[in-house]
Chains A and B, each alone.
Chain A
Amino acid sequence: MVTSGKGGVGKTTTSAAIAMGLAKKGHKTAVIDFDVGLRNLDLIMGCERRVVYDFINVVNGEATLHQALIKDKNCGQLYILPASQTRDKDALSKEGVEKVLNELSKTFKYIVCDSPAGIEKGAHLAMYFADDAFVVTNPEVSSVRDSDRMLGLMSSKSRRAEKNQEPIKEYLVLSRYSPERVKLGEMLSVEDVQEILSLHLLGVVPESKSVLNASNAGIPIILDEKSDAGQAYADIVARYLGEEKPHRFIETKRGFFGKLFGGK
């Protein structure tokens, strides 16, 4: 499950990148857009013109899962379940979501849930059944505070919490990071954010123009192997799958920005 609390921090970009990254590694992966009413994931995945049925249709039994799942054009292992644009989050029910997730887990190794912003119903249902959570945070105070709130909800209002099971595994993805601005004191540093959240850092994604370009083109950023952000997400997926990778994009010197701007 990919979440953040705050809007505009890069949840959908991260969901698309992680889902694509897992699929690229050969794992059968489904990605679900929980942002009913404000669907974006299909745009970022570049499949908006192939949406026939959506998540709500499946929850309501108006379409089968097979009918609604869209196979990704870049990777055969990846399927997308888009959100409905015409309905709102009240159309989702705990039972309905559980049914869909149970059915998906029969055929898919990983199910990535793209949570909407906020802490209301959509976000609650996206995290309720989660096993692992990617908490996307920007290096600024309000985003960090909202992520903290979301982490609190996960540890008290999720299925694992209610059934007294092992808690959801939480991973921090720090996005839109700019080492230059940290140096100038305009942004919180990785250390600051980690001190406030005390969370396992999965990776830092640098602020990058390529993310916007990729979103507009409908290609998950992770496929842009030349871009710093794409590489950062590839590292994140690798670390999630248990590979050891040194953290990049945190320092100005020797980092990608240093090279780009001639070691300024």
Chain B
Amino acid sequence: MSTDNQTTAYNPPVLEFKSSSFSVPALILSGNELKAIEQQLQEKIKLAPEFFKNSPVIIDLKELTKQHLDIDIALITEITRKLGLLPIGIRGGSLQQNKNALALRIPVYSNSSNRTNPVETQKTIPATQITEDVNPSKEAASSKAMIITQPIRSGQRIYAQGDLIILAQVSAGAEILAEGNIHIYGALRGRALAGVQGNTDARIFCTHLQAELISIAGNYKISEDLTKNIYNKPVHIYLKDYTLVIKEL
């Protein structure tokens, strides 16, 4: 009798619940045209295929709900899955949509934080827009800069949630991504993508521009577009009217 009691008494707990917060991209839908969503999402993913591969995503429906547009939860999850994303929840949907999501075993997140803080939406919004705003501590995270002193070699990928500062070269075949600005004190021969979460104010600075691709908030130029007079020069790249502007420093 005593042995049984003892085992229960001395059994260490094997589980525990803790609250933790994660940063998850939210896919904000502002149109319900499935074809257009799929196409635009595919284009976004193409810009940073490694980043989006198997990335969890929350489907944000509040814009649709505002516009009284309906969307089939089963179909939209299928599209995101097909493109390599892992939908882990919806938010801002109608009662029926919430019910459908739960039937698909997809969690429904409350939208409370956003109701008090309505997002300013542009009039000319694209059908999809990916932002990272589920985590309330995002502001703090993005103000921090990541500093790298080693060369970024071919095949390496760096992702910074805020600014990215590199005090070495970025080799051809390497990819650097930042939600904020990118500074490179060295030759940029690989791909540099700033403002990957849609920050159109992000900028890229580098001392020797030989990049394969440069992008700010999804607007990109490839090396063929770089003219001779800026090639291998110290430059500063920013976005003006959805066009990349490359200025010599």
A residues lining the B interface (CB < 8 Å): 145, 148-149, 151-153, 155-156, 167, 195-196, 198
Contacts and interface: CB of A to CB of B under 8 A. Distances in A.
A152 B156 contact: yes
A145 B151 contact: no
Classify the secondary structure of B's interface with A. loop
Interface string B98-137: 0000000000000000000000000000000000000000
B3 interface: no
A148 B150 contact: no
Contact of B150 (A149, A153, A167, A195): A167
Contacts of A148: 153-154, 171-173
A152 B169 contact: no
A198 B169 contact: yes
Classify the secondary structure of A's interface with B. helix
B151 A149 contact: no
Nearest to A195: B187
Contacts of B154: 145, 148-149, 152
B13 interface: no
A6 to B, nearest CB: 12
Interface residues on B, range: 10 to 19
Contacts of B187: 195
Contacts of B173: 145, 148-149
B174 interface: yes
A145 B153 CA distance: 9
Contacts of B156: 152, 155-156
A244 B152 CA distance: 29
Nearest to A152: B153
Interface in B143-173: 150-156, 168-169, 171-173
Contacts of A152: 152-156, 171, 174
